[in-house]
Amino acid sequence: MSETETLGIGMVGYAFMGAAHSHAWRTAPRFFDLPLAPRMAAVAGRDPDRVAAAATRLGWESSETDWRRLIERDDIDLIDICVPGDLHAEIAIAALEAGKHVLCEKPLANSVAEAEQMTAAAEAAAPRALAMCGFSYRRTPALSLAKRLVDSGALGSIRHVRAQYLQDWLSDENAPLTWRLDKTKSGSGALGDIGAHIVDAAQWIAGSNVTGVSAMLETFVEERPVGGDFVGLGGHGGTDGPKGPVTVDDAAIFTARFDDGAIGVFEATRFALGRKNAMRLEINGSKAALAFDFEDLNSLWFYDSAEAPNAGFRRILATEPEHPYTGNWWPVGHGLGYEHAFTHQAVDLVEAIARGEQPRPSFAEALGVQRVLAAVEASAADQSRWTEV
């Protein structure tokens, strides 16, 4: 690290995730007392005009048209990877071998083999260079509070885990074909894009890992317009123009068993009409239960069988100073939003780097998620046969 106690950041990609990460790097040192000052040195993208415009818009000092230049630059200490999954392994491994820290968006890779290579590179580079996978929902205060409650033993033995991630942005059959619908770029569809989040959250909060699954995958719309008006993640394609094949799943459903004996049910879809970003988790233990829905992200619902056995769940508004992360923000009751989890992610990563400690989730933990995703795909391809992870 430089003598000025700065942490030079180089980011690859500047679309949806790039904007979220840029906001985090800009905001983190203004609300948290960080041991190192993040410096937004450069952002990389292929189109020189567009990446230069993105650098100005998002707050980066400069731009590059080749991600390799970020790794070569002496003023960059950390590579932040915000591009489709087919590029994750090459960029992350090159950065780690060059002694750069890495933050890589989820899912870690498009295959278990790539994720294993990335994990090996991360383990070889540590502690000189540290790597973390960006499962940002871990940093939502209410979910972090859920983790704290489980770790305290408040729930007792975990029996049931129910996890859903429901969106509807692909429910229009004429939504255009994007990289998220191309298996060569994204690895999988709803399974990897949003299913990875609920697998990680469930395993992290429950404190146990999925050991086997029985799964179904479904693609409801097999062709989509190759052009159109792109809005947000989707948009509106033409009805008369050329179409291309959708090569990923639209929805994934699977049952699971955890290594502590708990059983789970998982669902991820981008066809749930009316659900915009319903990332949900419910855990039932022997003494208590908790429930969360990201569409009400400042609330955690908690039921204690000893406290009020006939009262049902009570709402915890996770905005108190003693709740995770919230003391650095607004007065009690003034809720946080989607972007704050990315800021908390940046804070935790900078603090881990300053201490020389492995940030979490590590590439090894993300590899564990990748193995669950692979088992789901294998089970679905084999008539939902029970498949060990």
- Give the tokens for residue 322: 């003693």
Q: Which residues of the chain have pLDDT under 70?
A: 1-4, 230, 238
Are β-strands 234-237 and 228-231 bridged in parallel, bridged antiparallel, or unpaired? antiparallel
Q: Residues 14, 58: contact at Cβ < 8 Å? A: yes
Mark residue 210 as left, alpha or beta (left: phi above 0; alpha: psi -120 to 50; beta: remaining): beta
Residue 308 is predicted with a pLDDT of: 73
**How far apart, in whole angstroms, are the C-alpha atoms of residue 63 and residue 66?**
9
Judged by DSSP in three states, 242 sits in coil
From the number of C-beta atoms within 10 Å of its C-beta (0-12, 13-18, 19+), residue 264 rates as buried
For residues 345 and 324, give the distance between their C-alpha atoms in angstroms, rounded to a whole number.
12
Please tell me the predicted confidence (pLDDT) of residue 316. Answer: 98
Radius of gyration of the chain (CA): 21
pLDDT digits (tens, 9 = 90+) for 355-379: 999 999 999 999 999 999 999 999 9
What distance in Å separates the CA atoms of residue 130 and residue 150, rounded to the nearest whole number?
28
Is residue 235 within 8 A of residue 287, CB to CB? The reply is no
Q: Is 304 helix (H, G, I), strand (E, B) or coil?
A: strand
Task: Determine the pLDDT at residue 389.
Answer: 97
- Running DSSP on this structure, what letter comes out for residue 263? E
Q: Measure the CA–CA gap between 228 and 236, rounded to whole angstroms.
A: 6
Question: CB–CB of 163/157 below 8 Å?
Answer: no
Q: What DSSP string describes 310-345?
A: TT--EEEES-STTSTTGGGSSSTT----HHHHHHHH
For the chain, list the domains and their CATH numbers: 6-137 (3.40.50.720), 140-358+369-381 (3.30.360.10)
Task: State which amino acid sits at residue 315.
Answer: R
Give per-residue pLDDT as tens, 300-349. Answer: 999 999 987 778 999 999 999 999 999 999 999 999 999 999 999 999 99
Give the DSSP letter of residue 287: S
Q: Which residue has the tokens 């650098």?
A: 55
Task: Give me the pLDDT at residue 3, please.
Answer: 47
Cα 233 to Cα 193: distance, rounded to the nearest angstrom: 12
- Looking at residue 288, its pLDDT comes to 97
